[in-house]
Structure 1
Amino acid sequence: MYTVVLDWLEERLRSGEISVGDKLPGERHLAEEFGISRASVREAIRILDAMGLVRSSTGSGPSAGAIVISEPSAALGWALRMHVATRALPVRDLVQTRLLLETQSAREAAAAPDSPERSAVLGRAAELVAAMEEPALPDKDFHAHDAQFHVLLASLAGNVVVETVMASLRQATIGYVQETVAGIEDWPAVRRTLQDQHRGILESFQQRRGEDAAAALHHHITWFFGHSDVAQDR
């Protein structure tokens, strides 16, 4: 019975009657409106929460209840991780998807007009590259910066769906990246090579050399996963 609440919210979002930031009616109101139990309403809210569409707060007062949000990458990333864990989605196929998305985004980003947003993204990417070159940076932070670097550069193409999928793919594969690193005996040397590759990728983006950026990304991604059998065996 909870699906009536999901359908109702979809219709209201499409029509504009409800927008991001709005608060949903309370459990009792929704239960009475649709003639269902409050338990069914709570189940609907839990599902919407898992989908990244609402954020729920318990208690009373203006901050309590379910607020409409939009965090698609978080929900999609969670779903991908679970399906990767079941091996229904092979890591090698996720890597191939990254290659397709990132290389094409690099080409499109080269043709994007100058803007304050583009300058800010490139500036932040440069900061991440600099941070990753700090010898004392923990590996966990190195991986996090690496992931953010790739998502930022993909965003320069101006495609929100690609950016969302990229963020989700990075979330889905981060565990396997950490497994890969744990199995690499010469990780310090690999890390230095990755730093060099990041600098080259960033320079290509800064200079709007789309084909060079695409080639550098392709080499970077395939080179890294080539150091482990994770992407090949899963």
Structure 2
Amino acid sequence: MNGLTSGLPDEVAAAPVPAPRADGWQPVSRMRTYELVLDRIEGQIVSGALRAGQRLPPERELASMLGVSRPAVREALRILEAQGAVRSQVGTGPDSGTTIDRLPSDALARLLRLHVALGSFPIDDVVDTRVALERASVVLACRNAQPADLARMRAELVAMDVPELDRETFNQHDTNFHVAIADAGGNRLMSDVTRAIRESVRMPILAGWSAMPESGPDSWPSVRDGVRADHHAVFLAIEAGRAELAADRLESHIRRYAIYLPIHD
């Protein structure tokens, strides 16, 4: 063992890598190795050998197949679960074990929320990205929205129009309205990314609204009524199928109220 490995208890020089197994799994070249386990599993997903809904081998078997320790496998699976790529169920029943998942929106939203909160991205970049995505989403919604999609948007507008709605509930319906537009477009990837970005600014928006006074030009009632009016105008454009008008109205709405974000530079 040379100096590169002598101080790392989870790293040892590996034997020559054997030929790939018939099922596509292959021991990793070093036994360090949750990153390498991640690489192997991600490689299987990218190649198409593993698809959504398929179950991974049990932890003990996977560790043996890859030539690594069970803790290394366990750590890799924890990371994949946090990323939304797998879901794990403990126990011995038919639903137990680790299954490849494909519901990325919650994981994307969680990741973006953390990095927006940490200031990893300038808020103007977040707003510009949100504008670009939501303009594209609303254009698709004008083309593809079904009656059920329009009914979903209308329900959020009705909920937001309730007098004296508390700010947190209003904020949730605001988020739901934007998400409903993205979903109505029919592009799953665009919808998930739009949803993640909108969710990432939900709490900063609520913090900005919560700090507003009850009277004056920048008061909560004034902003609340402005948001309501903007949403109704966007919805009317979507309902009429006027894509460019809907996109312009949505962009104007997003930029108008971005100035109230407490993390705005």
Is 1:145 paired with 2:173?
yes
| Equivalent residues, number | 228
**1:94 and 2:126 correspond:** yes
2:225 aligned with 1:189, yes or no?
no
Which ranges in structure 2 are unaligned for 5 or more consecutive residues? 1-32, 214-218
Counterpart in the other structure of 1:43: 75
Q: Deviation of residue 120 (structure 1)?
A: 1.5
Q: Deviations over 1:86-125 (max 9, x none)?
A: 2121222111111111123323433x25xxx622111111
* 1:173 paired to 2:205: no
Aligned to 2:28: none
Q: Rg larger in 1 or in 2?
A: 2
Residue 106 of structure 2, aligned match among 44, 66, 74: 74
Contact 1:21 1:67 in 2 (8 A): yes
Deviation sequence 1:137-187 (CA, Å, 0-9, x none): 432222112112112212333322221111111121112111110122121
Return closer, same or farther for 1:106/1:46 CA change in 2, 3 Å cut-off: same
Give the match for residue 23 of structure 2.
none
Moved over 4 A (4+): none
Q: CA deviation at 1:14?
A: 3.7
Shift of 1:10: 2.7
Q: Equivalent of 1:164, from 184, 192, 197?
A: 192
1:15 Cα deviation after fit: 4.4
Deviation for aligned residue 1:60 = 2.4
Structure 1's unaligned 5+ residue stretches are none
TM-score, normalized by length of structure 2?
0.79
Aligned partners of 2:67, 2:77: CA distance in 1, in Å? 16
Shift of 1:214: 1.2
1:8 alignment counterpart: 40
Partner of 1:204: 237
Deviation of the 1:231 alpha carbon: 5.0
Name whichever structure is richer in helix by fraction: 1
Displacement of 1:210 = 1.1
Structure 2 distance, partners of 1:82, 1:106, is 26
Partner of 1:215: 248
Does the 8 Å contact 2:105/2:192 carry over to 1?
Answer: yes
Query: Is the partner of 1:60 in helix, strand or coil?
Result: coil
CA distance in 2, matches of 1:22, 1:40: 21
- Give distance in 2, aligned partners of 1:103 and 1:34: 46
